[in-house]
Every structure is written in structure tokens, then in C-alpha cells.
Structure 1
Amino acid sequence: MNVKARLTLMNFLQFFIWGSWLLTIGVYWFQNKQWSGTEFGVIFSTMGISSIFMPAIIGIISDRFINAEKLYGILHILASLVLFCLPMVDNPSTFFWVILLNMIFYMPTLSLSITVAYSALKNANKDVVIDYPPIRIWGTIGFIAALWAVSLTGNEASANQFYIASAVSLILGIYSFTLPKCPPLASKVEAKSFIDSLGLRAFTLLKQKKFAVFFIFSMLLGAALQLTNAYGDTFLHDFKSIPAFKDLLAVKYPAIIMSISQISETLFILAIPFFLKKFGIKYVMLFSMLAWVLRFGLFAFGDPAGGLWMIVLSCIIYGMAFDFFNISGSLFVETQVDEKMRGSAQGLFMMMVNGFGALFGSFASGLIIDHFFTFADQSKDWTNIWLTFAAYTLILAIVFPFIFKYKHNRAEKTAIKAMSHS
């Protein structure tokens, strides 16, 4: 098997693990365990907590002490063991600590998989810019495949979703030891300080207004991503309590409907160079915020019957909402930050989106839903839940262009031109 095929399999399995439970854990939580929404918000915050510190710490270890592919394999094997134990937990507080332990092992593998892939491609004399994106897209396909597998086997509310994820994690962990060697490079390059390795130097950018505004909005948009991940599948599942909807395909297999979001994500990536060239980074970010408004607003008025088109359209719009801010945001960092600090600044961007943003979104949504939109029988007022989320992102979209002072510049145009040709 050539190096690109081996890395393709690695990416497929990497995201198959996550797709096995990330969007369906809410159904397991509310319908199988019947635990509260506030507690669920705390559970979903584990991704944010682990994203704040673990990738940087594991990055230091792989830079200085152990081969990246071996560390990658060890983490997946440990995560497999935790996922296998997860269904045995019958207490929400204990569930929090166990799922947090799983995320502590899993989240660093996202960046390690990139490290391993880049190293292997470079050693095989491949062009990373050209050869990596077609490999990475198989990660999204793996996520979609997992959603379909869990849904078609009737395991969206079942503990089996964790056993599936555990088995695939174990397979990937063992497979990782066969991947091309990616030894520590600290001895061959200038050693970074501990502060630089953790990306803490980038926090000095917050002294500048444009970066402070950008990173704050990154956190607030990261919260929006958690809302759709946490509650989308659960929202569709809840229609089964309504006799007129319970036998419809969208209610029987909601994860398959939600997978349209990931399919859309892969397609909108192709449109980004055009939009960036036509409108620039600032307005592409704004389009992302408006897309989130539509994402939630369509959910508010959609249903699995006559309103199915709204739900499907919402899933299609997700691709724009997710891709446009993440790609344009990383491009903003690339073109505006001094090259000596770009790596740590990109890390801070991801920390704001997947770390602090995830924490804020998880805690706030759990409390709001539990206190204002949950009825006595524990059913949810989904229309007003989604309208509240839509109002939140609409406020962001209205405020953003007035306080984010940024104009098209030569560095941005050069980067977009390079992106268009890659």
C-alpha cells in the first residue's frame, strides 16, 4: 500500500471514531439515560476543556521525546479502552469524568494525524499542499460513514455506538504502529521555549484591537458549532413522540439526515477561493455568521414531513457556516501575524473555536435549555430553542462588521491567489 493510501485509511478511521458518537450522544443521553440538559451541556464541554491544553502538551512530547506515529497509536488504544467502559457508567457525574478522559486522549490525535501525514508526504517527496487535501477529505467521508452505520443499525440511542467507536479506535491504534516513522525533531531544530510550545506567546496579540475582536468572535462562533453538534440529532429524534411523524425516514434515521451537513462541508470548501477573491476575508466571515442564522432558523420551522426541505436546506447551509469562518479565519491569521508567531497564533485560533468556544456553548446552552425550554415531562420546546440560537448568531452578524475594522490587503490577495491555484 503506497503512502497516500495508508494516510487515507488513517484519516478515514480517525473521523469514523468521532462520527460514531459525537452527533448521537445526545440521543443516548436524553432518551436512553434520561438525564438533564444542564448536565448534558457539561458533558459536551469536555471537548473544549481537552482542546485548551492537551494538543499543545502532546505536541511538546512528540517534538522532543517519542515518535508521533507511536504516540498517536498509544492515545487511540487508551481512548478505545475508555470508550469501551463508557456504557457501564450509570451516573452523569461519573460519565463526565470518563468522557473527559476519552477526549483528553482523542483530541490531540487530530493534530498528531496532521503531523504524521505531513511528515510521511514530505519524506515520500510529495507536495503537501496538493496531496494532503484529497487525503483529508476521506476523514469527512469516514465521519459520514460512521453516522450512516450507527443510524442504519439502529444504534443512535444505544450504548453500541460507543462499542463501535471503541473497536475502530483499537484498530487504528494498532494500525498506527505500521505508519511511516515520524521521529522527534527537537534535536535537529532550534528548541522552542515552553511558553512558545504551548502557544502562549500568541496571547500578546490580544493587545491589538483587531486581533482581540477577531479572537472573541472566534470563540462566540465556536459556541454556535457546539449547539448544532450537541442538539441536531436529538432534535430530529424527538419527533418520534408525535404519531404523525414517528414512521418517517427522517425520524427513523436522523443521523443520515444530519450527515448532509458533512457532505455539504466538503463541497463548500471548493467554493471558498471564489468567495474570498470576490468579497475578501471580512465578508466571508460575515457570510458564515448569516449562514448560522439560517441554519438555526430553518431548524426552528422545519419538520420531518412537509418541512423536511427546511431541515435538508439547513444541513446544506451548515457547510457554508462551518467552512467559511474556519478557513477565512485561519487565512486572516496567516496574512496578519508575523511569521515567527503564526504557528502559535493558529493554535490560539483553534483554542478559541474548539476550546473556549466549545466550553461557552456547552455550558450556556445546557443551562438555557434546561431552565427555559424544557417542559415538566422533560420534552423540549425545539422551535424556541432554535430561534434563540438564531437570534444569538444574528446579533453577532449585526455587530461584527461595525467593530471588526479590516480591509482587503496585498498579503490577503496573494494568499487567496495561492489558495486558488493549489
Structure 2
Amino acid sequence: MGNSIGQFFAVQGIVSLFMPTLIGIIADRWVPTQRLLSLCQLLAAIFMGLAGYMGMKYGDNVKFIHIFPFYTLSVAFFMPSMSLGISISYFCLTESGLDPVKNFPPIRVFGTIGFIISMWIVNFTGAKNNYIQLFISAGWGIILANYALTLPNCKVEKKEGEENKKTSIIDSFGLRAFTLFKKRNMCIFFIFSFFLGMCLQISNGFATTFLDEFRKSPSYANSFAVKNSVFLSSISQISETLCMFLIPFFLKRFGIKNVLIMAFATWSIRFVLLGLGNPTGFGLVLFILSMIVYGIAFDFYNISGSLYVEESTNDEIRSSAQGVYMMMTSGFGSTIGSHCAQAVINVCTNNKENNFDEYMHGWSLSWYIFGGFILVIGILFTMLFKYKHNQEQSEQSEQQQEKPKKIEI
């Protein structure tokens, strides 16, 4: 199924075009978020377990059609769970009188730690090339599905007198979050979030593949970086964990615009470092630096962007607004980014497979193109996104937070 691996990555973006927003609307309008999170995780785990069962049943004879349908259904329910988890965190922090900007990043750290542990388990148990990794994923999903039911009750927010008032079609179908596009700054923010989503997909979809390509050379085939590409990639998640603690300071000190500009800049730097690196000597140092830079690039757009959406919307559309943000990043960004990146790589490496040096030069050229592209997009964002940060007001807002109060379980 090696020739079909791109479709497994692409489907994550396709389902994110509609599932996070749809599930977010349901959470805002009808079903408490923690219950919906539990249901999504349970269904995702069941379908992932079925995909694993098909892999186990057919072994080396397994085909694309055996696994892909179950995998797609699993991902369709998993992708909304990320925005639902964020929404629950913001609800709990707000209800407790805590500042989400200051207190959410340390909570989000545990998600990345779980990601790192899973990567290491898959890498060092040899599960990365067989169906066992699907069962591992299903097992984690069942645990989280049960844990979600112990979370505080996220009440469905309804306006006073809403039941007796005639509502518009937009309100009836829970589409109020899409009206955020009518606000100039939010519209520009969502559009450029799409480009940042492209960066993440380019990085996640092709960085490890790029490292694996060095297996084709006897000079690199037995290097630690090539043999343990998943473990090396986990340095990115370790950096992500550490950089998350920087978010409260940078958002309070510099504001969302400057933080996002830093994200654009660091994505460009990461891509250039990947183009310059190789698995040995100083080239390996450049690879590791690209992994370290990833932490800033990811956190300063993904987590900070989510916090900006939370600060710019009200409680009634919290989950659906996070769903729209995910639709633009993990949906449109991932889908279009994956296809565009593959097209660039194909052009740069076409007919060069028989010459390793030329082939890898084509890969490097691809990374330089990605780096230059996102640098230009970052400059455009700087010019178009009008935002004036008031540091004093931000600090006063933090000082005026209410005392923690109990929330309903």
C-alpha cells in the first residue's frame, strides 16, 4: 500500500473540511461538549480498531480497500475531538475565573507529551510498519472516551427567551460562527490561518518521508537519523512542549499579530534548514535545529490562533468557532497544502530517481520553494492584518480575573 500512503494523509484534510464545524455546531446548539467528545472518541476508536483487525486478518496480503474505509470513518470522528477538547478547556478556565491565555498552554502541553509517548512506543516496538499501531490508537481512544465523561458539564449556551423567539435560519442551523468572516480582521486571520495550515501539512506529511529517502544511499542508510526517523521527528514535539510555555508571555507582551508573524518566519526557517540538512555531521545539526524551530512555528500559530478565536468570540459559538478555525487550518490548509506540496516535489524530483545526488537536490529545492512561499505570505499578512496590541490593557485584564469558583460536574 506504499503507493496509497498519500491518500491516508489527504483524507485527514478532507474530513476536516466539514466534520469539526458540524460537530462544533451540534455542541453549541444541542449536546454538551464533553459528551460529544466522548462519543467522537469512542466511534473513532471502534473504526480504528476495525482497521487494525483488517490488517491483522489479511497480513501481508492486506489491500487499500480493506483498511481505508474504516480509517476514514475513524479520522472523521477524531478530527472534531481536537477542537472539542480545546473548547472544553476554555469553558472550564472561564467558568473558574482563570485567564485562558495564561493557563491553557500548560494544559495543552499534556496533549503533546501524549503524542511524544505514542511516537516512541510505535518507533521502538517496531509497530510503525504494521497493524499494531492501529490497535494502540484504538486503545488510547477508548481510554479518552471514558475519561471525557468525567469532565465538567459544558452547558449548552442559549440566549434568554430563545425558545419563544423566532430565530433566523443562521441561528436555527447553528451557522452563526460563519458570520465571523464579516469582520475584517477575523476574515484575514482565517484566510492566513489557511496558509499556516498548509505549512503544518507540508511539514507533517513530507519531513519524515524526506528523511526516509536517504535510505537510498549507502552513505546514509545505516545512520541513526534514518533508522529512527520517527524518533528524530519527535524532537519537534519536545520543542513544541517547551515552547508552549512561552505563549502567555509572548501574547501578553507582543500581541497576536507579532506572534503570528514569528510563526510565519519560523516556518520559513524550518523549511530552509530541512533543505540544507542531511543525516550525518553538520547536516544532522541542521535537521535537529529544524525540529527545534518547529516548536515555535507550530505553537505560535496553532495554539495562539486558537486563543485568539476564543478571545474574539462569545460563549454561544465557542465550539463552532473553533470548528471553523480547524476547518481553515486542518481542512482547507491540509488538503490543498498536501496536494500542492506533492506537485512541487514531483516537479523538482521528476526523472531524477536514478541519480541520488540530483534526486535529493530536487528535494532540497522543494524545501527552499516552500520556505520562500511562506515568507512572502508572512509579509502580506504583516501588511494586511490591522491589529494594535495594548500591553497595559492586557495586563490589567489579567489582574482583574475573578477568583476561582466551582463548576458543575
- Whether TM-score is above 0.5 comes out as yes
The alignment status of 1:238 with 2:213, answered yes or no, reads: yes
Per-residue deviation at 1:153? 1.3
The alignment status of 1:227 with 2:227, answered yes or no, reads: no
In structure 2, distance between residues paired with 1:77 and 1:331: 27
Q: Larger relative CO (CA 8 A, sep 6+): 1 or 2?
A: 2
> Which segment is superposed worse, 134-143 or 210-219?
210-219
> Which segment is superposed worse, 363-372 or 305-314?
363-372
Letter in 1 for 2:365: N
Q: Which residue of 1 aligns with 2:388?
A: 408
In structure 2, distance between residues paired with 1:346 and 1:115: 7
Matches within 5 A, 1:261-300: 261-300=236-275
Q: Unpaired runs of 5+ in structure 1?
A: 1-32
The alignment status of 1:170 with 2:170, answered yes or no, reads: no
1:52 match: secondary structure: coil
Matches within 5 A, 1:368-379: 368-375=344-351
In structure 2, distance between residues paired with 1:94 and 1:376: 33
In structure 1, distance between residues paired with 2:266 and 2:47: 36
In structure 1, distance between residues paired with 2:344 and 2:136: 32
Per-residue deviation at 1:277? 4.7
In structure 1, distance between residues paired with 2:153 and 2:183: 37
| Deviations 1:285-339, CA, capped at 9 Å, x for gaps | 2121110111111111111111111111111111111122234434554666688
Q: Which residue of 1 aligns with 2:380?
A: 399
Q: Which residue of 2 aligns with 1:385?
A: 366
Q: Which residue of 1 aligns with 2:59?
A: none
Per-residue deviation at 1:227? 0.7
Residue pair 1:199, 1:347 contacting (<8 A) in 2 also: no
Matches within 5 A, 1:294-333: 294-306=269-281, 307-330=283-306, 332-333=308-309
Q: Which residue of 2 aligns with 1:195?
A: 170
Q: Unpaired runs of 5+ in structure 2?
A: 56-61, 402-409
In structure 1, distance between residues paired with 2:159 and 2:175: 23
Cα distance change of structure 1 residues 70 and 216 upon mapping to structure 2, 3 Å threshold: closer
Cα distance change of structure 1 residues 363 and 206 upon mapping to structure 2, 3 Å threshold: same
In structure 2, distance between residues paired with 1:229 and 1:197: 37
Letter in 1 for 2:78: Y
In structure 2, distance between residues paired with 1:383 and 1:270: 32
Per-residue deviation at 1:117? 5.3
In structure 2, distance between residues paired with 1:49 and 1:290: 27
> Which segment is superposed worse, 328-337 or 81-90?
328-337
Residue pair 1:285, 1:324 contacting (<8 A) in 2 also: yes
Per-residue deviation at 1:168? 2.2
2:13 to 48, 51, 76: 48
1:354 to 330, 336, 342: 330
Residue pair 1:57, 1:198 contacting (<8 A) in 2 also: no
Letter in 2 for 1:365: A
In structure 1, distance between residues paired with 2:214 and 2:98: 48
In structure 2, distance between residues paired with 1:188 and 1:333: 21
Cα distance change of structure 1 residues 350 and 415 upon mapping to structure 2, 3 Å threshold: farther
Per-residue deviation at 1:63? 5.2
Cα distance change of structure 1 residues 278 and 61 upon mapping to structure 2, 3 Å threshold: closer
Alpha-carbon RMSD across the aligned residues, in angstroms, is 3.7
Per-residue deviation at 1:258? 1.1
Q: Which residue of 1 aligns with 2:153?
A: 182
| Deviations 1:218-240, CA, capped at 9 Å, x for gaps | 11111111111111222222222
Q: Which residue of 1 aligns with 2:47?
A: 82
In structure 1, distance between residues paired with 2:400 and 2:124: 40
1:45 match: secondary structure: helix
| Deviations 1:249-304, CA, capped at 9 Å, x for gaps | 22121112111111211222222344345544323221211101111111111111
Matches within 5 A, 1:12-27: none
Letter in 1 for 2:194: M
Aligned-pair identity in percent equals: 38
Cα distance change of structure 1 residues 122 and 398 upon mapping to structure 2, 3 Å threshold: closer
Cα distance change of structure 1 residues 73 and 204 upon mapping to structure 2, 3 Å threshold: closer
Cα distance change of structure 1 residues 69 and 350 upon mapping to structure 2, 3 Å threshold: closer
Count residues with an aligned counterpart.
383
In structure 2, distance between residues paired with 1:186 and 1:318: 37
2:113 to 123, 141, 156: 141
Letter in 2 for 1:401: T
1:247 match: secondary structure: coil
The alignment status of 1:35 with 2:3, answered yes or no, reads: yes
In structure 1, distance between residues paired with 2:98 and 2:243: 23
